[in-house]
């Protein structure tokens, strides 16, 4: 069995003590990250947080799939939506959209269920990455199918809506639900600040090409179409490079920042427990510890009974998987195919539904589609925060937003370049401003590394305001400004 990281850390302390080196427990996370070896990083990534039990058989796995959630009842809408599409395509688009909408919800839940089963078998950092990556499968399929049908407006709105949904709706529900049980919850402050920086540059990458486009078009006779497309392609390549760099940072070079036990993570505090003022530093007579800095002593000077380590009970026993690895991979494959076909019917019905209804494509893309894609995964994230695993909730929600902004969006832009579809990074102006305000607000809320129910309510109200405004927003399709070039590309055979 692989030696746990904590045992290796203790052995390292003993070796340093024997050689006369001084061990300082107050070493900053940055210094720890520099000395983190590749072997220990790989162990932290791949070693599960708890020991995994034996895998079930095929029939037991299939039974677990059927009984995974009551949302499986909505799987009946899959054949219904398919039948309606072939029988009434172009006539009953609203009914087709609703049935396809309901059919995708249980499929997204099954994707989340399979992802959770894979996450049991890896470390916490890689588990968060898997949840964020596979959690965006539906969004990626929607974007690819919409791109193939040249529904560029739906692509832009759905990508922005997914980011808003993750940052505001999912995070606010996590803060609010956890805040009902805990007076205050903590999460890794430094890792969250790094994620906030990645989100900030993703917003800048959308706003700068838009500012360049409107400046050039309004200031010269040239329509600037070719230039703005070139800027979008170049910026997309840079964003993909930044995303892969962040993966190397998170999984290898600075994996210690995302460790299960991080020094900059505040402990959660239940209601009814008074917070005592910081007491003078206490010098511990421990042979493995030299000195404790005043900053760290002040931060940990609460009495032991003030904070509850609610994870102790969950660390006892084993994680019992409900699916075998082969069944899990098969489930991911089958569900992805079903999602792809059902999403195609859903996208086909959007034009007919918005033509004679008081609902815009912007509202569908920004509000409705992300709810379909993120609701099952969002429920899992909220449940995780109630169990006092807010670090994991934040890594999934914020990590999903980062992946959409730094990988899915530039990938779709470059794919449009290959397919001859002029999808650009400059999005709808109001959507871009909304994304900027969402990132700005979230950055302010998570700045202190602590969460409570009021911060969740703040984000919840901001999302509600955006829902109201997008309902009345008619929309400005930026790619229409490129119509001469659009006409040459979109109908190229």
Task: Write the pLDDT tens digit of every residue in 256-272.
Answer: 777 655 566 667 777 76
Each residue of 361-381: pLDDT tens digit? Answer: 889 989 998 888 777 777 778
Cβ neighbours for 30, distance < 8 A, ≥ 6 positions apart = 190, 254
* pLDDT averaged over every residue in the chain: 75
Each residue of 216-227: pLDDT tens digit? Answer: 765 555 555 557
Each residue of 115-155: pLDDT tens digit? Answer: 888 877 776 667 767 766 777 888 889 899 999 888 888 89
Greatest mean pLDDT range, 26-40, 126-140, 416-430: 416-430
Res 289: pLDDT:
43
The closest alpha carbon to 391, from 472, 310, 298, belongs to 310
Alpha helix (H) residue ranges in 255-404: 294-299, 325-355, 361-363, 369-386, 390-403
Is 490:150 a contact under the CB 8 Å cutoff? yes
Res 302: pLDDT:
41
CA distance 470 to 417: 29
CA distance 388 to 384: 7
CA dihedral sign of residues 435, 436, 439, 442: negative
CA distance 418 to 422: 10
Max distance between CA atoms of the chain, in angstroms, equals: 81
CB atoms within 10 A of CB 218: 8
Res 153: pLDDT:
86
Per the model's pLDDT, the better-predicted residue between 5 and 202 turns out to be: 202
Token pair belonging to 363: 């509202």
Per the model's pLDDT, the better-predicted residue between 8 and 232 turns out to be: 232
Proportion of the chain in helix, strand, coil states, percent, rounded to 5: 70, 0, 25
3-state secondary structure of 183: strand
- Give bridge partners of residue 185 from the DSSP assignment: 451
CA distance 66 to 86: 28
19 pLDDT above the threshold of 80: no
Is 377:108 a contact under the CB 8 Å cutoff? yes
């Amino acid at each position: 069995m692989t030696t746990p990281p904590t045992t290796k850390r203790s052995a390292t302390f003993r070796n340093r003590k024997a050689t006369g080196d001084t061990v300082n427990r107050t070493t900053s996370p940055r210094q720890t990250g520099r000395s983190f070896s590749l072997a220990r990083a790989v162990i932290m990534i791949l070693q599960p947080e708890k020991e995994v039990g034996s895998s079930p058989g095929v029939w037991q796995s299939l039974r677990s799939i059927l009984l995974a959630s009551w949302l499986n009842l909505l799987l009946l809408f899959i054949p219904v939506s398919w039948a309606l599409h072939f029988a009434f395509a172009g006539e009953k688009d609203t009914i087709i959209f609703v049935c396809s909408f309901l059919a995708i919800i249980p499929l997204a839940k099954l994707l989340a269920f399979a992802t959770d089963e894979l996450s049991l078998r890896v470390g916490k950092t890689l588990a968060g990455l898997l949840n964020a990556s596979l959690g965006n499968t539906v969004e990626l399929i929607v974007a690819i199918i919409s791109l193939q049908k040249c529904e560029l407006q739906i692509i832009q709105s759905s990508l922005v809506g997914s980011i808003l949904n993750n940052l505001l709706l999912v995070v606010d529900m996590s803060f609010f639900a956890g805040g009902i049980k805990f007076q205050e919850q903590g999460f890794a402050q430094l890792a969250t600040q790094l994620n906030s920086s990645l989100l900030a540059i993703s917003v800048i990458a959308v706003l700068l090409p838009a500012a360049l486009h409107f400046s050039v078009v309004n200031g010269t006779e040239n329509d600037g179409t070719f230039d703005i497309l070139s800027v979008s392609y170049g910026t997309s390549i840079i964003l993909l490079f930044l995303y892969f760099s962040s993966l190397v940072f998170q999984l290898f070079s600075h994996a210690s920042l995302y460790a299960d036990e991080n020094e900059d993570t505040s402990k959660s505090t239940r209601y009814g427990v008074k917070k005592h003022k910081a007491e003078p530093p206490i010098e511990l007579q421990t042979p493995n510890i030299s000195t404790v800095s005043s900053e760290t002593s002040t931060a940990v000077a609460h009495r032991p009974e003030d904070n509850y380590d609610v994870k102790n009970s969950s660390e006892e026993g084993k994680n019992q998987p409900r699916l075998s690895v082969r069944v899990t991979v098969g489930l991911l494959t089958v569900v992805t195919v079903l999602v792809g076909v059902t999403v195609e019917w859903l996208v086909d019905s959007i034009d007919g539904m918005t033509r004679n209804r008081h609902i815009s494509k912007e509202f569908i893309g920004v509000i409705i589609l992300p709810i379909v894609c993120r609701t099952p995964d969002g429920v899992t994230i909220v449940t995780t925060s109630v169990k006092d695993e807010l670090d994991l909730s934040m890594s999934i929600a914020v990590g999903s937003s980062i992946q959409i902004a730094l990988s899915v969006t530039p990938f779709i832009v470059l794919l449009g370049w290959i397919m001859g579809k002029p999808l650009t990074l400059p999005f709808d102006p109001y959507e871009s401003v909304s994304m900027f305000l969402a990132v700005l607000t979230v950055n302010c809320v998570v700045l202190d590394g602590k969460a409570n129910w009021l911060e969740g309510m703040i984000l919840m109200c901001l999302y509600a305001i955006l829902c109201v405004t997008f309902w009345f927003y008619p929309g400005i399709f930026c790619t229409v400004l490129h119509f001469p070039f659009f006409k040459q590309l979109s109908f190229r055979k």
